[in-house]
């Protein structure tokens, strides 16, 4: 494939128009955030918006959650595959993994944008809904072997005509979804965002003209492709493989789920191939990936290793070749395999495998494995708010984060959460959560000793405690990383294993399973520890002053500093702070590390 030639399109206008598209998407995102009713959307911002051309070329991923926006074209292609009468005033609803969706909790509203009778754009809003009518009040169902057990799937339906809701579909959803008034408000926020995008896009075309906008589509795509080619030319040529493993899933995958990828680089031609075909068949549970997740996550793992200023559009995507197998847990699922947990868990392992595979190219390439999520601090909580008129509630919390992976020259990102969102989802405001639901967040802090050690550390995870204020609260979670924590690369260590616990009314703390529904009553509490990210490089090569800084932050114990990093400290002049003991550190680092000491 030859590289696109340099354009004769005005580069200033190219920059202006691309920025205008970014601004439109940002306004759409703000509309969803401000108009939604559920905390998981308006508080944690588990939402994304996008704009594509009529022929399904993605233009921009402004502020989008990576897993939401890395394969948006599959969602819009389903519309033209299934409908031959798309017209102005239509809106489509899609949350089905078999019609381009990520998983059934990510409800997507798409509208066609016409100008003078011609379809020019698709405007899209995708939000994570805490309930879609599953048998349990959650959207994460480990044992849901088929989509029939997940709740409502809308396989790309027309939800509006002539700018008006189709009342039969709305009624159908309202009768099948818990706290349906919240669901409907969130849906309307998405529709409103898409209509805002529609108006702004029409204004854009009116100002610059259809021909200029068509040329912009081509030149912006070509620019993304040229930038991607130049970036890939900086990589060494070769083939590298990597394997990681999801924790055992009782009754679904008792030995866990291995995730394997091979990365093949062709810098001469500016191409990269991610081969994920060597993975197991679909498993009888909700962990199978949708095609959108498998394709998107292979792309994400590549982009995490490249220049972050690259345009993430159809042009740059075109230089990433992804090979998937039909009927595989990491691939294209075979209908009706369950995919309710497709966006996290196994999917995060896939991103980790791709990004860590780059480390085998040697420094400065690659990253460690990042924290995997769904610990108890990210539970879907439900119950009856007895202090608020006996109102029912269902909502997913994001009151905790896992630690980001280290890379060459940089420690991991503290507010990372997991690779599928990579810091885009916002850590919940404790005050907002406590104001909306009958809970008290007793504690939330960085968990000491959880980061993956290295010359560059993976970030530490968080720990926290939640207390129900009502008579009874149900918390449902699907936690990975308790058995197989995120690994480091090039001599870096693994992050700490995750834990989920319950504090009884007596004060005793007991461990809970990784995949679980727990009922909490007055006097009890839910406790969790998230993974830290994997480290990069030998910990004994870490700058001693950075190790001392970690101790003073409360992230590392002095004992671990000596045994893992070979760094000793002594009391400093300021109370409670330590300084590096240079002499003792020199002695420690001159002594060979004992077997098993890292």
- pLDDT of residue 597 exceeding 90: no
User: Diameter of the chain by CA atoms?
Assistant: 78
Q: What is the pTM of this model?
A: 0.95
- pLDDT of residue 583 exceeding 70: yes
What CA–CA distance (Å, rounded) separates 431 from 437?
10
What CA–CA distance (Å, rounded) separates 127 from 296?
17
Q: What is the pLDDT of residues 273-285, one digit of tens each?
A: 999 999 999 999 9
pLDDT score at 8: 79
Q: If DSSP codes are grouped into helix, strand and coil, which group holds residue 508?
A: coil
Q: What is the pLDDT of residues 446-502, one digit of tens each?
A: 999 999 999 999 999 999 999 999 889 999 999 999 999 999 999 999 999 999 999
pLDDT score at 213: 97
Non-local (6+) Cβ contacts of 479 within 8 A are 247, 374, 375, 376, 498, 500, 514, 515, 516
Q: If DSSP codes are grouped into helix, strand and coil, which group holds residue 307?
A: coil
Sheet containing 164-165: give its strands across.
Answer: 58-60, 47-53, 118-128, 106-115, 91-94, 157-161, 164-165
Place of tokens 């009890």: 524
What are residue 118's DSSP bridge partners? 115
pLDDT score at 227: 97
> How open is the CA angle 408-410-413, to the nearest 5 degrees?
130
Q: What is the pLDDT of residues 94-114, one digit of tens each?
A: 999 999 999 999 999 999 999
Class of residue 590 by CB neighbours under 10 A (exposed 0-12, middle 13-18, buried 19+): exposed
pLDDT score at 185: 96
Percent of the chain with pLDDT over 90: 93
- pLDDT of residue 52 exceeding 60: yes
pLDDT score at 63: 83
Q: Which residue has the higher pLDDT, 593 or 453?
A: 453
What CA–CA distance (Å, rounded) separates 456 from 366?
12
Q: What is the pLDDT of residues 108-138, one digit of tens each?
A: 999 999 999 999 999 999 999 989 999 999 9
Find the mean pLDDT for residues 520-533: 97
Please give the structure tokens belonging to residue 394: 């269902």
HEC-encoded secondary structure of 415-462: CCCCCCCCCCCCCCCHHHHHHHCCEEEEEEEECCCCCCCCCECCCCCE
Phi/psi for 56 (5° steps) reads: 75, 30
pLDDT score at 598: 44
What separation in angstroms does the CA of 237 have from each of 270, 284, 485? 10, 38, 30
Question: Could you tell me where the DSSP H helices lie in 8-119?
Answer: 11-35, 39-42, 66-69, 73-82
What CA–CA distance (Å, rounded) separates 394 from 133?
11
Q: If DSSP codes are grouped into helix, strand and coil, which group holds residue 269?
A: helix
State whether the Cα torsion 415-420-424-427 is positive or negative: negative
Question: Do 145 and 285 form a contact (C-beta atoms < 8 A)?
Answer: yes
Dihedral angle, C-alpha 291, 294, 300, 301, nearest 10 °: -160
Please give the structure tokens belonging to residue 506: 């007596």
How high is the mean pLDDT of the chain?
95
- pLDDT of residue 6 exceeding 70: no
């Amino acid at each position: 494939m030859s590289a696109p030639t340099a354009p004769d399109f005005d580069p200033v206008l190219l920059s202006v128009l691309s920025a205008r598209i970014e601004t439109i998407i940002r306004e759409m995102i703000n509309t969803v955030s401000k108009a939604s009713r559920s905390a998981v959307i308006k508080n944690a911002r588990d939402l994304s918006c996008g704009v594509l051309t009529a022929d399904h070329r993605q233009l921009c991923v402004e502020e989008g959650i990576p897993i939401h926006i890395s394969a948006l074209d599959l969602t819009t292609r389903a519309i033209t595959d299934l409908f031959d009468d798309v017209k102005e005033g239509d809106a489509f609803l899609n949350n089905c993994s078999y019609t381009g969706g990520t998983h059934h909790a990510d409800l997507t509203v798409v509208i066609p944008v016409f100008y003078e009778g011609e379809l020019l754009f698709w405007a899209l809003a995708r939000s994570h809904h805490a309930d879609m009518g599953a048998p349990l009040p959650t959207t994460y169902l480990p044992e849901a072997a088929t989509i029939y057990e997940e709740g409502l799937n809308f396989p790309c339906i027309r939800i509006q005509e002539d700018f008006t809701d189709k009342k039969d579909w709305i009624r159908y959803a309202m009768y099948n979804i818990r706290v349906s008034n919240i669901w409907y408000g969130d849906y309307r926020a998405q529709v409103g965002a898409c209509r805002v995008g529609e108006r702004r896009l029409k204004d854009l075309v009116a100002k610059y003209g259809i021909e200029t906008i068509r040329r912009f589509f081509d030149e912006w795509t070509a620019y993304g492709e040229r930038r991607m080619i130049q970036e890939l030319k900086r990589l060494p040529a070769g083939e590298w493989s990597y394997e990681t493993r999801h924790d055992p899933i009782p009754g679904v995958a008792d030995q866990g789920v291995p995730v394997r990828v091979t990365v093949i680089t062709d810098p001469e031609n500016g191409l990269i191939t991610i081969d994920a075909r060597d993975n197991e068949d679909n498993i009888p549970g909700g962990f199978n990936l949708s095609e959108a997740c498998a394709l998107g996550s292979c792309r994400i793992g590549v982009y995490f290793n490249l220049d972050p200023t690259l345009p993430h559009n159809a042009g740059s995507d075109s230089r990433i070749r992804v090979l998937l197998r039909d009927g595989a847990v990491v691939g294209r699922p075979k209908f009706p395999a369950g995919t309710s947990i497709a966006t996290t868990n196994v999917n995060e392992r896939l991103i980790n495998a791709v990004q860590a595979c780059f480390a085998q190219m040697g420094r400065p390439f690659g990253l460690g494995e990042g924290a995997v999520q769904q610990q108890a601090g990210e539970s879907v909580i439900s119950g009856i708010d007895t202090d608020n008129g006996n109102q029912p509630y269902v909502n997913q919390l994001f009151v905790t984060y896992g630690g980001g992976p280290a890379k060459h020259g940089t420690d991991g990102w503290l507010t990372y959460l997991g690779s599928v969102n990579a810091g885009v989802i916002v850590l919940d405001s404790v005050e907002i959560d406590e104001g909306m639901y009958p809970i008290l967040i007793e504690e939330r802090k960085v968990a000491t000793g959880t980061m993956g050690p290295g010359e560059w550390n993976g970030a530490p995870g968080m720990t926290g405690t939640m207390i129900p204020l009502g008579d009874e609260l149900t918390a449902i979670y699907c936690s990975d990383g308790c058995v197989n924590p995120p690994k480091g690369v090039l001599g870096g260590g693994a992050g700490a294993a995750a834990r989920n616990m319950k504090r009884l009314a007596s004060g005793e703390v007991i461990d809970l399973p990784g995949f679980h529904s727990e009922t909490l009553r007055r006097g009890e509490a839910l406790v969790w520890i998230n993974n830290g990210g994997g480290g990069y490089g030998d910990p004994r090569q870490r700058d001693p002053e950075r190790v001392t800084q970690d101790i003073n932050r409360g992230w590392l114990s002095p004992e671990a500093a000596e045994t893992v990093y070979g760094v000793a400290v002594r009391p400093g002049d300021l109370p409670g702070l330590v300084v590096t003991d240079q002499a003792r550190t020199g002695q420690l680092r001159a002594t060979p590390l004992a077997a098993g000491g890292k």
